[in-house]
């Protein structure tokens, strides 16, 4: 059973989609991610790009983020995110959209700006670096934004041209299957 770890919604249980369609971040990994960024959450505008159950964005809201946008390509997953947002009391601070990540990023360009982003796609897609690069290219993130990448076999190489403007803050592996990379976006010209 997933739950909110701490903050105003501490201990609230979260629903997950039945079956193997989504792979929720384990509580251990979620705890490690939030320990790494715990002093960087207050007032942040969050994008949970492959929302699944919405647990990452909701955890950020519980810890003081200002608002969150949840994106997932699955209607069923988005219904779970909405239920979890209601049960944690964050529905009014949330925006929900069923969309492929590429389409969302292109369409949101010029209309949205985020400074905390969670990118946790299905591991087989290996699209973390692509998604982070598109966020920069379409100017959906601001300098100083924190971008958390959770991947399986995809190796994140900070010298990848798609990751220009990013700085690696922390990289960790959890077992044989999961890698987490926390990046700081310096801006298109690397300021």
CATH number, domain of 20, equals: 3.40.50.150
Alpha-carbon span 168 to 117, nearest angstrom:
14
- What percentage of the chain exceeds 90 in pLDDT? 82
Nearest to 177 by CA among 122, 139, 140: 122
Query: For the ranges 18-22, 69-73, 117-121, 134-138, which has the lowest average pLDDT?
Result: 18-22
- Owner of token pair 């909110």: 4
Nearest to 114 by CA among 165, 51, 45: 45
Domains contained in the chain, number: 1
190 within some domain: no
32 within some domain: yes
> Secondary structure of 54-119 in the HEC alphabet?
CHHHHHHHHCCCCEEEEEECCHHHHHHHHHHHHHHCCHHHEEEEECCHHHHHHHHCCCCCEEEEEE
160 within some domain: yes
At 123, give phi and psi (nearest 5°): -55, -35
102 within some domain: yes
Q: Between helices 55-62 and 27-37, what is the axis angle to 10°?
A: 40
Per-residue pLDDT, averaged over 128-155, amounts to 95
Query: For the ranges 20-29, 83-92, 132-141, which has the lowest average pLDDT?
Result: 20-29
Handedness of CA 14, 20, 24, 26 (dihedral sign): positive
Whole-angstrom CA distances from 184 to 95, 100, 115, 164, 168 are 24, 24, 10, 11, 6
Alpha-carbon span 56 to 50, nearest angstrom:
10
Nearest to 181 by CA among 173, 58, 55: 173
191 within some domain: no
Alpha-carbon span 16 to 171, nearest angstrom:
27
142 within some domain: yes
Domain that holds residue 168: 2-185
91 within some domain: yes
State the pairing for strand pair 45-48/141-151: unpaired
**pLDDT of 64 strictly over 60:** yes
Per-residue pLDDT reduced to its tens digit, 148-185? 999 988 899 999 999 999 999 999 998 888 999 999 99
State the pairing for strand pair 2-3/13-14: antiparallel
């Amino acid at each position: 059973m997933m739950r909110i770890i701490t903050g105003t919604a501490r201990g609230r249980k979260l629903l997950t989609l039945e079956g193997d369609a989504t792979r929720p971040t384990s509580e251990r990994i979620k705890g490690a991610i939030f320990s790494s960024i715990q002093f960087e959450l207050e007032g942040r505008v969050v994008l949970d790009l492959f929302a699944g159950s919405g647990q990452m964005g909701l955890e950020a809201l519980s810890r003081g983020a200002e608002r969150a946008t949840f994106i997932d390509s699955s209607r069923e997953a988005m219904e779970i995110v909405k239920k979890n947002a209601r049960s944690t009391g964050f529905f009014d601070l949330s925006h929900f959209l069923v969309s492929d990540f590429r389409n969302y990023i292109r369409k949101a360009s010029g209309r949205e700006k985020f400074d905390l982003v969670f990118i946790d796609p299905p591991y087989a897609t290996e699209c973390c670096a692509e998604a982070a690069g598109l966020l920069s290219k379409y100017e959906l993130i601001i300098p100083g934004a924190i971008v958390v990448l959770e991947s399986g076999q995809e190796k994140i190489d900070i010298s990848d041209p798609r990751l220009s403007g990013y700085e690696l803050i922390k990289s960790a592996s959890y077992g044989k299957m999961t890698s987490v990379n926390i990046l700081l976006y310096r801006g298109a010209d690397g300021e």
